[in-house]
Amino acid sequence: MLGEREARVVEVEPWDVHGVVYLDVTVAYEDGTLETARLGPESAPEGLRAGDRVRVSRAVNMIVAMRRP
């Protein structure tokens, strides 16, 4: 239920909640699967953009964080 996967960022949509910027991030895995997650600033690399390669941390079939490889 825990693990990491390589992915490519497809879309990043920032949104502000009371001064804290969250990100809706869509990633594509090597098998073509797309997945979207809503992440807080502590869970995503700064300056994340479409096309970036990331390591996606997953728990219980959900993205919980991502980082640059």
Handedness of CA 15, 34, 52, 65 (dihedral sign): positive
Closest CA to 23 of 37, 10, 2, 33: 37
Q: What is the DSSP secondary structure assignment for residue 64, as one 8-state letter?
A: E
Q: What is the pTM of this model?
A: 0.92
Domains of the chain: 2-67 (2.40.50)
Residue 1 has pLDDT above 90, yes or no: no
Q: Per residue in 22-62, pLDDT tens?
A: 999 999 999 999 999 999 999 999 999 999 999 999 999 99
The confidence score (pLDDT) of residue 46 equals 95
